[in-house]
Amino acid sequence: MFVSPLREPLIQGHKTYKQISDDICAPVETKPSKAWFLATTLSGLLAINGFVMIGLTITYGIGLWGLNKTVGWAWDITNFVWWIGIGHAGTLISAILLLFRQKWRTGVNRSAEAMTIFAVMCASFFPIIHMGRVWLAFFIFPYPNTRGPVWVNFNSPLLWDVFAISTYFTVSLVFWYTGLIPDLALIRDRAKSAFTKKMYNIFCFGWKGTAKNWQRFESISLVLAGLSTPLVLSVHTIVSFDFATSVIPGWHTTIFPPYFVAGAIFSGFAMVLTLMLVVRRVFNLQEYITLGHIESMNKVIILTGSIVGVAYITELFTAWYSGNPYEQYAFLNRSMGPYWWSYWGMMTCNVVSPQLFWVRKLRRSVVFTFFMSIFINVGMWFERFVIIVTSTHRDFIVSSWTMYYPTTVEIFIYIGTIGFFMTLFLIFAKVAPVIAVAEVKSILKTAGDQYTGPNAVHKQDDHSHH
């Protein structure tokens, strides 16, 4: 008879419900450490620097960037697509894994959802400043106006991005905040000072924890998960249409939508791992974010990385099979042209390196996973750069070929968004539990190490003997 191996426990250390609350609320209730202040100050300075550069861009125009007649989209749209991609894992972990009742999501979903919101905020800067004339940004909203027949241009990719981002951001925000409510109430109930109690009470809408509260909480979570699931797939599909509906060789391929979605989940999971491994170490949450969680995340990375690899090969095949010399040259130029380093960097980071996770020992290694998570996001940045720059810098007409080099303004805007992202995440980790306490408690009886696994304490029900 085949006996299935026991699933490893997702909560270690023989925890009681009270210990779970104590451990996860500790970072919120204690005074911030020096390291936290230092990290927040540094990332805050980077963010301010980025905002100064954005201010310069708005004042003097995008002539400060390295854009030119041929390469009209460059670092700004590269970074936009990169950030939107990173924002994908949060909603996927929360929504799709909630619908599939995956227990391992409870350790990572809170941080992933917060990461989604902060990443979408970073992404939204880029299309706006890319317009050049920011004060005309209201034209992209389909607002009722008295200017005669002034309608937004529904053919513009910019408009699709506005719809995609705003919808995605709104649903993700509601989803994240709804999940926070029981935990904010927990911190309110544990708070010592009257002021803290009052503030957290406002933020948790006076949550009482009654059966009715919980029933509503459960049903709204499911409704939001159902709404978010198609959004995860549609948002990056829409971003890919910015490229796929054009006639530029290297862009107009039908494989873009699924390939962008897989790539987004791939880079999003890598970013969740980068953040979670740091949080796990700094806040001593090793018993809640276990090697089992890390391994499950790495399995998703293998899957999506392989899909991305297949997509790259499909692109090459399509170019060859099309018999279109321009399309074929676009791919030849990617791999052999002046930007060859970005193409091979992308191939190495995104296709070759994740395959190392087939080895169980590496999949469960914290240091290796952390290194790989950064490596993958660098690779995904290269991918966006390759798609945008190498497809446009050598046009149909040889006389208009040109090279694109980023300027310091562009580089600092990008670094600034990373600083902004990190600042928001550090502040979030200080004011709210970085792991969903209520959800971890809900799986304690089925995934705690004292109830499952070989060392489980078999608690007999007293009534069973009567």
Taking residues 353-361, what's their average pLDDT?
87
The fraction of the chain above a pLDDT of 70, given in percent, is: 92
Closest CA relative to residue 374, chosen from 292, 272, 261, 263: 272
Cα distances (Å, whole numbers) of residue 189 to 16, 30, 179:
18, 15, 17
Taking residues 322-336, what's their average pLDDT?
84
> Mean pLDDT lowest for which of 37-41, 301-305, 460-464?
460-464
The pTM of the full predicted model, rounded to 2 decimals, is 0.85
Tally the residues of the chain. 466
Could you read off the pLDDT of 2-39 as tens digits, one per residue? 555 667 777 777 777 777 777 777 777 778 788 888 88
Could you read off the pLDDT of 190-241 as tens digits, one per residue? 878 888 778 878 887 878 878 888 888 888 888 888 888 888 888 888 888 8
Taking residues 151-170, what's their average pLDDT?
78
Cα–Cα distance measured from residue 87 to residue 80, given in angstroms and rounded to the nearest whole number: 11
pLDDT greater than 90 at residue 52: yes
Query: Looking at residue 456, what is its pLDDT?
Result: 57
For residue 208, the one-letter residue type is K
Cα–Cα distance measured from residue 274 to residue 447, given in angstroms and rounded to the nearest whole number: 24
Query: Looking at residue 463, what is its pLDDT?
Result: 45
Structure tokens at 323: 């018999």
Cα–Cα distance measured from residue 181 to residue 48, given in angstroms and rounded to the nearest whole number: 31
Taking residues 358-378, what's their average pLDDT?
88
pLDDT band at 47 (very low <50, low <70, confident <90, very high): very high
Cα–Cα distance measured from residue 78 to residue 82, given in angstroms and rounded to the nearest whole number: 6
Query: Looking at residue 4, what is its pLDDT?
Result: 56
Structure tokens at 202: 């406002």
Closest CA relative to residue 178, chosen from 443, 436, 442, 440: 436
Query: Looking at residue 454, what is its pLDDT?
Result: 57
- Which domains can be identified in the chain, with CATH numbers? 80-141+152-404 (1.20.1630.10)
Query: Looking at residue 252, what is its pLDDT?
Result: 81
Cα–Cα distance measured from residue 63 to residue 60, given in angstroms and rounded to the nearest whole number: 7
Cα–Cα distance measured from residue 67 to residue 74, given in angstroms and rounded to the nearest whole number: 7
Structure tokens at 92: 């996927």
Query: Looking at residue 460, what is its pLDDT?
Result: 41
More confident residue, 159 or 78: 78
Could you read off the pLDDT of 168-198 as tens digits, one per residue? 888 888 888 888 888 888 888 887 888 877 8
Radius of gyration from C-alpha coordinates of the chain: 24
Query: Looking at residue 465, what is its pLDDT?
Result: 47
Question: Which segment, 62-66, 85-89, 382-386, 431-435, is predicted with the most confidence on average?
Answer: 382-386
Mean pLDDT rounded to a whole number for the chain? 82
Cα–Cα distance measured from residue 159 to residue 182, given in angstroms and rounded to the nearest whole number: 37
pLDDT band at 262 (very low <50, low <70, confident <90, very high): confident
Structure tokens at 197: 């109690």
Query: Looking at residue 145, what is its pLDDT?
Result: 65
Cα distances (Å, whole numbers) of residue 395 to 65, 78, 248, 336, 342:
20, 19, 9, 16, 19
Give DSSP secondary structure letters for 239-299: HHHHHHTS--TTT--TTHHHHHHHHHHHHHHHHHHHHHHHHHHHTT-TTTS-HHHHHHHHH
As a 3-state breakdown, the chain gives helix, strand, coil percent values, each rounded to 5, of: 75, 0, 25
pLDDT band at 447 (very low <50, low <70, confident <90, very high): confident
Query: Looking at residue 257, what is its pLDDT?
Result: 86
